[in-house]
Structure 1
Amino acid sequence: MSLSLKASPLPPGSTLGILGGGQLGRMLSQAASRLGFNVVILDPEENSPAGRVSQGQIVAAYDNPTALTVLGQSCEVVTFEFENVPAGSVERLAEGGAVVAPGPRALAVAQDRVDEKTFLNSVGATTVDFAAVDSLNDLISALDRLGTPALLKTRRDGYDGKGQVWIRSVKMAADAWQAIGQCPAILEARADFVRELSVIAARGRDGRIAVYPLGENIHKGGVLKTTIAPAAVEPKTTKRARAIATAILEGLDYVGVLGVELFDLGNGQLLVNEIAPRVHNTGHWTQDGCVCDQFEQHIRAIAGWPLGPTTAHARVEMTNLLGDEIEQWTTLSARADTRLHLYGKAEARPGRKMGHVNRVKPL
């Protein structure tokens, strides 16, 4: 861990920088404000959701050298809200003397699916079998080794089901390769899993780790629809998930909150699907299910404060509001058991995450 991240905790009144102005940046900024911090956002979109609840926003591309210099000089620590921020931008900030958490390595690993799975297996966080694919011949060879069905994904930039296609026979190889734009890819063997789980965990500047209860996730059309937490899991499943999260956090010398998506094979066996070096959609339940939610936890970690408690005080069903589902806000806001979280986005496009609701029930 760098010497700068071992420094004293940042006092209230310090300024934090966030690369990204979307909903995650917005909720991070709101959490930081509750703790007395000032926040500056860097995002190319004017009047971004996060910018509107922050002290200020720098409107510029993420790789704009001048903007990065200003951000780094204005803030005691800089973080990011999504993993498609250019890794070079984070490296430039660090090289310029800014404190960045999580660091450039975590971002670089998460941005390349082959590098990500290679790293995960190296620290004992097992994944499905996989193969790097750089050509149609590579794809055919990988299908011969891994079998079908198998999932072809772009190595970079895919999210919410984009940039991926299932291959159910070798005859589909050429069409699948065309469908992802003939770009560097990864082929993943199919996982025979019972359900999808996730674990949200944090590591502080002092190396201490805090892990939230697991959530069970339901997807629709490649996009997360619902998370139910705490998930009904056996103690050995919880123990394994904690071990996986700890290995990843320590392997990356990570500071901040991390999301880990898991395939539950049953009987305490878990495979890692992917990681997100940031606060995560499947952790939104913590806003109404825990004393310290994932957003406050991330701010605490990067600011060098003690990590907060992760014990659940309620059972929560988190549901994403996609596209015009946002129009249900009047009905949802009237329910006594429901907390409504809206992101302040102007345009409700199909599939776009406009907000979420947490339905709160006793444990």
Structure 2
Amino acid sequence: MTTHPKPAQPRQPLLPNTPASCLGIMGGGQLGRMFAQAAQAMGYQVAVLEPEAGCPAAQVADQHIQAGYENHPGLMALAKVSKAVTTEFENVPAESLKLLAQTSFVAPAAACVSIAQDRLAEKHFFTRCGATTHVYPAPHWGITSQDDVAKVSDDLLPGILKTVRMGYDGKGQVRVRDRAELATAFAGMNGQVCVLEKMLPLAYEVSVLVARGVDGEAVVYPIAENVHRDGILFTTIAPSIHVTDAVASKAQAAALHIIAEMGYVGVLCIEFFVLKDGSLVVNEMAPRPHNSGHYTIDACITSQFQQQVRALAQLPLGDVRQHSAAAMLNLLGDVWYEGNTDTMREPAWDQVLAIPGAHLHLYGKVEARRARKMGHITFVAMTMPAAQANLSKACAILGIAAPEWA
């Protein structure tokens, strides 16, 4: 997919605390909830379009339009009350964003979201950007049939087979060691278009959170370092303790180029792999605030959600300086269960909150299920070792295997 940068435009701010200052958001999950809370703190009303009753964002929003993401009356209702609309997840239908853009300011635009919805389109876009940034995606191959499996280069194996669309939190992907496993895995994808990515000698993963305004102003946050368990983000520490200044500068410069090349408006998270030889590989992007950026709520001058509000309302972007070391722990539904049993109990939040620097964020989800994101805790401290030690203390209280800090 070819994209062309949109020229920067003068800002036309939607000021808060006026009868017309309502912001709309597509999606009612925890990201929508935190966006709504940030917007309301700045004096805006928030309308949420989401089919699920009682969803996290609807619990705090000023208005809940209970309708599907392609429901025309629902979309028209959102457009009627919202001068500007954003999204909290990348799989919102691009056609819905185009429809909303006829009457409301929409950021990010449908064309930008479309790239992030399709892993092949995303990789083609990253490859084109690599001519300038010198940061490329992993070697890969698109697979639409078993004939494509036969054409895969031996150099791409072992690899990871991923569905081109709709994969997240480890879903829609399978590790394959050889061509036979690849053929079996592709057959198990039930005809979905896939991409095979070569497995690389990964040292660690980092996230670069970047934001851009309609006027072309762009800011980039400190580098965050991520650890996953079972395909789901487990911990994020910021700033990264392993990234060198040279690699950090290269990743941040690449992120700024990518967001400008798309003409993107809003908050964008780009994940990079740092390989064992120190080289940098761009992995994927999320056209919205990101789980790995939650630390910004408690450790930065401007959180990623405040930044999303600023970009959407066409206000000047906020200061991205980090004032405290931060270690963020994802809370999955597993911590509500007694060990490996089906017995449920409320976690000992009082003990967790007795730990210095603990900031608990629960998302308002009524039902705790294993592997379901229920909240997060960010530990802030003067030093990273102190933040890490306090996160490990919380793991012991919650019955989570603590990370092995290296």
TM class by smaller structure: over 0.9
Cα separation, 1, equivalents of 2:372 and 2:11 = 40
Does 1:180 pair with 2:186?
A: no
CA contact (8 A) 1:130 1:146 kept: no
1:262-305 superposed Cα distances (whole Å, 9 cap, x missing partner):
10125653111100000000001111111111110111111111
**2:141 aligned residue:** 131
Corresponding letter in the other structure for 1:11: L
Alignment partner of 1:345 out of 365, 381, 402: 365
**Offset, 1:324:** 3.4
Q: CA–CA distance in 1 between the matches of 2:6 and 2:65?
A: 27
CA distance in 2, matches of 1:203, 1:122: 20
Q: Which residue of 1 aligns with 2:397?
A: none
Structure 1 CA distance for aligned equivalents of residues 200 and 267 of structure 2: 26
Q: What residue in structure 1 maps to residue 24 of structure 2?
A: 17
Partner of 2:393: none
Q: Using a 3 Å threshold, how does the CA distance of structure 1 residues 6 and 139 change in structure 2: closer, same or farther?
A: farther
User: Within 2, Cα distance between the matches of 1:90 and 1:157?
Assistant: 17
Q: Which residue of the other structure, out of 347, 350, 355, is the alignment partner of 2:375?
A: 355
Partner of 2:78: 71
Q: Paired residues, what number?
A: 361
Q: After the TM superposition, which residues 258-269 of structure 1 pair with which residues of structure 2 at under 5 Å, given as runs?
A: 258-265=268-275, 269=279
Cross-structure match for 1:279: 289
Query: Equivalents in 1 of 2:257, 2:115: separation in Å?
Result: 15
Q: Structure 2 vs 1, CA of residues 104 and 136 (structure 1 numbering), >3 Å: closer, same or farther? A: same
Q: Give the match's secondary structure for 1:355.
A: strand
- Paired residues of 2:28 and 2:55 also in contact (CA < 8 A): yes
Partners of 1:5 and 1:278 in 2: how far apart?
21
Query: Among residues 150, 156, 165, which one is paired with 1:140 in the alignment?
Result: 150
Task: State the shift of 1:139 in Å.
Answer: 1.9
Residue 291 of structure 1 pairs with residue 295 of structure 2? no
Q: Structure 1 counterpart of 2:24, which letter?
A: G
3-state SS of the aligned residue for 2:331? strand
Deviations 1:85-122 (A, max 9, x none): 1111111112x322100101111000000000001111
Tell me the distance in 2 between the aligned counterparts of 1:190 and 1:285. Answer: 29
Q: Matches of 1:104 and 1:190 in 2, distance apart?
A: 31
| Contact 1:153–1:180 (Cα < 8 Å) also in 2 | no
Q: In the alignment, does 2:264 pair up with 1:254?
A: yes
5 Å-filtered alignment, 1:7-156, equals: 7-13=11-17, 14-94=21-101, 96-124=102-130, 125-142=135-152, 144-156=153-165
Paired residues of 1:133 and 1:139 also in contact (CA < 8 A): yes
Secondary structure of 1:123's counterpart equals helix
- Structure 1 unaligned runs (5+)? none
Please give the alpha-carbon distance, in whole angstroms, between the structure 1 residues aligned to 2:127 and 2:190.
28
Is the partner of 1:54 in helix, strand or coil? coil
TM score, norm. by length of structure 1: 0.96
The equivalent of 2:395 in structure 1 is none
SS of equivalent to 2:111:
helix
Match of 2:16, as an amino acid?
P
Measured on the aligned residues, the alpha-carbon RMSD in Å equals 1.6
Contact 2:149 2:179 in 1 (8 A): no
- Which of 295, 301, 309 is matched with 2:311 structurally? 301
Inter-partner Cα distance in structure 1 for 2:177 and 2:165:
22
Equivalent of residue 163 in structure 1, options 139, 160, 172: 172
Percent identity, aligned pairs only, is: 44
Q: 1:297 to 1:73 in 2, by over 3 A?
A: same
Stretches of structure 2 that go unaligned for 5 or more consecutive residues are 337-345, 384-406
Asked whether the equivalents of residues 204 and 274 of structure 2 are also in contact (C-alpha less than 8 Å), the reply is yes
Measure the CA separation in 2 of the matches of 1:295 and 1:247: 22
Aligned to 2:252: 242
Query: What is the TM-score with the length of structure 2 in the denominator?
Result: 0.86
Q: Which amino acid aligns with 1:298?
A: Q
CA distance in 2, matches of 1:146, 1:64: 45
CA apart distance, 1:52: 1.1
Q: Residues 165-193 of structure 1: CA distance to partner in whole angstroms, max 9, x if unpaired? A: 01101121232112222311111111222
- CA drift of 1:2 comes to 7.1
Asked if the contact 2:333/2:372 (under 8 Å) is kept, the reply is yes
SS of structure 2 residue aligned to 1:25 = helix
Residue 7 of structure 1, CA deviation: 4.2
2:224–2:236 contact (8 Å) kept in structure 1: yes
CA contact (8 A) 2:108 2:287 kept: yes
